Amino acid sequence: MTMYDFPCEYCTGTVRECIVDLEPIKHHRGIVVLEEVPIGVCDRCGAHYYAAPIMRRVESILTSGSPPDRTIQVPVERYRKAV
């Protein structure tokens, strides 16, 4: 039973379940990187989708409901520098 297999919102493709090694997921509270996570990927345009249980896990980690396996530092850079 897959959490996906629905039409893409952006094109005529279908969103298929795909287990990815590492996926950074943005949430209004922050960003969490999930490993070996089943996400939805459009078979036509490649758009990524996250099912509700995935977002619940992200939220739980960001609100300290469940501590993450580990924490990494991520570099941040402003692409366009002020002149």
Q: Which residues bind Zn ion (CB under 5 A)?
A: 8, 10-11, 13, 42, 44-45, 47
Nearest to 53 by CA among 66, 42, 44: 66
State in angstroms the smallest separation of the CB of 24 from Zn ion: 20
Burial class (CB in 10 A: 0-12, 13-18, 19+), 13: middle
Q: What minimum distance in Å lies between the beta carbon of 35 and Zn ion? A: 24
Identify which of residues 17 and 59 has a Cβ nearer to Zn ion in the complex. Answer: 17
Cα(8)–Cα(45) distance, integer angstroms: 9
- Tell me how far, at minimum, the Cβ of 10 lies from Zn ion, in Å: 5
CA 3 to chain centre: 14
Residue with smaller CB distance to Zn ion, 14 or 60: 14
Q: Which is nearer to Zn ion, 37 or 42 (CB)?
A: 42
